[in-house]
Amino acid sequence: MLLHADPAVIVVGGVSGCGKSTVGRLLATKLRGTFYEGDEYHPPANIAKLRRGVPLTDEDRRPWLLSLQAVADNHARGAAKGKAVIACSALKRGYRRVLRGTHPPNRIAIVMLLPTNEAVQERVHARAQQGCHFMPPALLADQLATLELPPAPHDFFYGLPGAAGDRSPQENVCSILTLLARPPVQYEVF
């Protein structure tokens, strides 16, 4: 099936510290859309667990992902006006499937920011020293191990290597807009 890339929802994903919130906010502003910070949708028990340095399980993540899927669904169905940009780690293929729900991939695009491990470690440690995020640096290794990427490029799933490392957030937004402007493509969901 050929689909045009005109997503109602763009999920900006990646491990903690990759820049998804910064890039997501800028992208939402550029699109005159609404930004949703995925961290704000975690149940309090998840935040408490992360603060203790305990990685979340798939079971822990399920209610969080379903809350974000409801936001995505409202925009993809047209019930909410304008585009939505959601910052959410979306580390596993199964998580991305939950976020997309029953919508075709061209309605909910997934963009993963893929900086170098070194760049992410620096940002996560800096955030921890400033006390501005609940996730301790010790959990980064678990997120990196959990991250599932397709073996080859998949349509409506975009990876931006070097994000939050070599490029500015504004450059990453321009790259995302360029990717989304591509012509219609055959798709396979990943």
Q: Which amino acid is at 18?
A: C
Residue-wise pLDDT for 53-87, tens only, equals 898 999 999 999 999 999 999 999 888 888 999 99
114 neighbors 162 (Cβ within 8 angstroms):
yes
Residues 6+ apart with CB under 8 A from 66: 98
Q: Is residue 70 part of a domain?
A: yes
Q: Is residue 49 part of a domain?
A: yes
SS3 (DSSP) at 5: coil
Range of the domain at 8: 2-181
Q: Is residue 145 part of a domain?
A: yes
17 neighbors 130 (Cβ within 8 angstroms):
no
Q: Is residue 154 part of a domain?
A: yes
pLDDT at position 78:
86
pTM, full prediction: 0.85
Residue-wise pLDDT for 125-178, tens only, equals 777 677 666 666 677 788 888 888 866 555 556 666 665 556 788 988 998 888
| Per-residue confidence band for 190, with pLDDT thresholds at 50, 70 and 90 | very low
Q: Is residue 48 part of a domain?
A: yes
Q: Which of 90-94, 119-123, 133-137, 142-146 has the highest mean pLDDT?
A: 90-94
Q: Is residue 14 part of a domain?
A: yes
Q: What total of structural domains would you count in the chain?
A: 1
Q: Is residue 188 part of a domain?
A: no
87 neighbors 38 (Cβ within 8 angstroms):
yes
The percent of the chain in helix, strand and coil, each rounded to the nearest 5, is 45, 15, 40
Q: Is residue 190 part of a domain?
A: no
**Distance (Å, whole) CA 148 – CA 154:** 13
| CATH code of the domain containing 38 | 3.40.50.300
